[in-house]
Amino acid sequence: MVKVIQKNDKELYQCEECGFHYAEKEWAEKCEAWCQEHKSCNIEITAHAEENKKYDSKI
């Protein structure tokens, strides 16, 4: 199940398999479904994670 986390007055959704956080529940669900099936991450999905968005904005 995707976890809902409150952070800085906004909700984030966490994939319980890999631990990435998403602003959209849809992406978290896609990520979790992929992670469970493939036991690895799909970089096209994790690119939407908050962790990777922050990283992009720094460049």
- Tell me the residue length of the chain: 59
CB of 31 to Zn ion, least distance (A): 4
Please give the structure tokens belonging to residue 36.
């469970």
Question: Which residue number, 3 or 7, has a Cβ lying nearer to Zn ion?
Answer: 3
CB of 9 to Zn ion, least distance (A): 24
Binding string, 1-40, against Zn ion, x = CB under 5 A?
A: --------------x-xx------------x---x-----
Residues in contact with 15: Cβ distance below 8 Å, sequence separation at least 6, in sequence order: 2, 21, 22, 28, 31, 32, 35
H and E: helices and strands count for the chain: 3, 3
Site residues (CB under 5 A) for Zn ion?
Answer: 15, 17-18, 31, 35
